[in-house]
Amino acid sequence: MYSWGDNLNGQLGMGNTTNQKSPQRVVGISNIIKFSCGGCHVLALSKDGDLYSWGSNKNGQLGIGNMVDMSIPTKL
């Protein structure tokens, strides 16, 4: 999975908040079969059934039990 663009909340999944002008591989995940993007967060499903989330978590939308933004994919 690749991402690029604005990365203010870590929504690109690079482990940082640096904007990217060209496609970069999302760290720590593979075999993604489905994904859904919110305004500043992402959820992704692997072919093994693992669900990951990252990016803005201001309202708990990442489902990780807190309200801390995550700049890397976090397995739920």
pLDDT in tens, 21-71: 999 999 899 999 999 999 999 999 999 999 999 999 999 999 999 999 999
Cβ 51 vs Cβ 39: under 8 Å: no
Name the domain count of the chain: 1
Q: What average pLDDT does range 11-23 have in this prediction?
A: 97
Q: How far apart are CA 19 and CA 26, in angstroms?
A: 13
Q: What average pLDDT does range 16-21 have in this prediction?
A: 98
Backbone dihedral angles phi then psi of residue 46, each to the nearest 5 degrees: -90, 165
- State the residue range of the domain holding 6: 2-75
Cβ 57 vs Cβ 72: under 8 Å: no
Whole-angstrom CA distances from 61 to 23, 35, 48, 68 are 25, 15, 22, 10
pLDDT of 11 above 90: yes
Q: So what's the pLDDT on residue 66? A: 97
- State pTM to two decimals: 0.93
